[in-house]
Structure 1
């Protein structure tokens, strides 16, 4: 499907996983602004959610959850999705380095940050391929290049695998009209991040600015002096799923304020 305005998504169906808070919420909002009919999946629907008819309650880190999302998308609306954005992810492994990460922690991180996307792609992408068009964005992390070993090594490893999977999928599907790319944020300014800043400040007798600097220092510095906003993440994804980015395939867009030192 092609729009006269290459920035617009009018008439397109989209699904955003993890789309009720943080970057996922911002992405869903941005795609709606661009004219898309946006579906959202998350484990629970927030109170007062404004689009209940476009919400799927599911844990996409499980096989049953991924299948329930795919079934709902197929049953209500029919046809292929035009846009699929995998935002859902995170880490729950406790601090303590590699020895603190149990078998359960590793499996939890792999299911949430890698296999959920793999399963949903397997269920939804055949229809895109049959239609000969579609766009997929996997949200990764700079930790695939710069892992923080103290607490998030399983998460970082899962995101590294997601990037490799995404690149291979892009090479396979581009000849069939489906574009696949990756967006890898560094830190993101969310409510959870602000609460984390508060905890660092209170626990160490620091001001909030000092606490932020402590976080930046742990990453080796953030040249921009701040993390990306959820809106900035959403704007980048909105561009990548539009016709304006029609020749971008298999790419990884890092949005981290310069955190990862590259040449």
Structure 2
């Protein structure tokens, strides 16, 4: 007996799907038979056969419009929207290093990209009486790291609150809204980050990884999550198998957050 997620033929848009967690989500959903479009700043080095890639800056209203036009041409409307895009490029040094521009960048990428995407696609989902929207938040909404990602953490907290409010409004109209809150994910970018720490500290990768985990207050599981592990959770939550789940937020962090 197999646990079929019933995603074959589903029309899916994934934001930030060129690398990291987004790429893992795109890969899994395409293997499960979904029809996938993904938007990111640039196409991946190794595109997946059958996936349609859109180059767009989703931190801007224009990038969202470009994505809507390309996705509409390729899929028509959507069954599932997965907002993965996010991140931080802010300098270290605490709150005083973050000027208005840094705050605007963090909010546009981590909050407004999702708000704009939802606003674009929700009318059609409501009209068809079905749909799923999933937002990727972060445990930093509960455990903010003040040195460099305070604006990122605040934006993800806002995304979480917005998502809950949206679920209250649109779930009665047939559209589920769910959230996934990851901790540290061992993406290629995270690996490169740890390697830089190792080089600067004169230690090896495993030693630097332990330093990062200690900085997070410890990960009881003893390691960060793999992108594929988080993608598995996302695939289940957007599938018809999770038809009664809406408004909830699922933490996947190896036990990092003491309470959630």
TM class, shorter-chain normalised?
over 0.9
Which residue of structure 1 lines up, in the alignment, with residue 186 of structure 2?
189
What is the correspondence of 1:25-174 to structure 2 with a 5 Å cutoff? 25-51=23-49, 54-78=52-76, 80-174=77-171
What CA distance in whole angstroms lies between the structure 1 residues aligned with 2:88 and 2:97?
Answer: 14
Which residue of structure 2 lines up, in the alignment, with residue 18 of structure 1?
16
Contact (CA 8 Å) 1:44, 1:58: kept in 2 or not? yes
Superposition deviation, residue 45 in structure 1: 1.5
Superposition deviation, residue 54 in structure 1: 1.1
Which residue of structure 1 lines up, in the alignment, with residue 249 of structure 2?
252
Structure 1 residue ranges (4+ consecutive) displaced by more than 6 angstroms after TM superposition: none
Contact (CA 8 Å) 2:82, 2:135: kept in 1 or not? yes
Which residue of structure 2 lines up, in the alignment, with residue 217 of structure 1?
214
SS across alignment from 1:120: helix
What CA distance in whole angstroms lies between the structure 2 residues aligned with 1:124 and 1:115?
Answer: 14
What CA distance in whole angstroms lies between the structure 2 residues aligned with 1:72 and 1:169?
Answer: 25
- Cα distance, 1:51–1:43 mapped onto 2, change above 3 Å: farther
Structure 2 unmatched runs, 5+: none
Which residue of structure 2 lines up, in the alignment, with residue 8 of structure 1?
6
Question: Which string of whole-angstrom CA distances, capped at 9 and with x for unpartnered residues, describes residues 114-153 of structure 1?
Answer: 0011001101111001000011110010000110001000
Superposition deviation, residue 73 in structure 1: 1.8
Structure 1 unmatched runs, 5+: none
Contact (CA 8 Å) 2:9, 2:34: kept in 1 or not? yes
SS across alignment from 2:75: coil
What is the correspondence of 1:220-239 to structure 2 with a 5 Å cutoff? 220-239=217-236
What CA distance in whole angstroms lies between the structure 2 residues aligned with 1:100 and 1:220?
Answer: 24
What CA distance in whole angstroms lies between the structure 2 residues aligned with 1:135 and 1:215?
Answer: 34
SS across alignment from 1:250: coil
Please say if 1:200 is aligned against 2:217: no
Contact (CA 8 Å) 1:6, 1:243: kept in 2 or not? no
Question: Which string of whole-angstrom CA distances, capped at 9 and with x for unpartnered residues, describes residues 48-99 of structure 1?
Answer: 5244871111111100001111122223332x20011001100011000000
How many residue pairs align between the two structures?
258
TM (norm. structure 1) is 0.95
Moved more, 158-167 or 53-62: 53-62
- Cα distance, 1:95–1:176 mapped onto 2, change above 3 Å: same
What CA distance in whole angstroms lies between the structure 2 residues aligned with 1:45 and 1:174?
Answer: 33
Question: Which string of whole-angstrom CA distances, capped at 9 and with x for unpartnered residues, describes residues 141-178 of structure 1?
Answer: 00001100010000000000000010011111110110
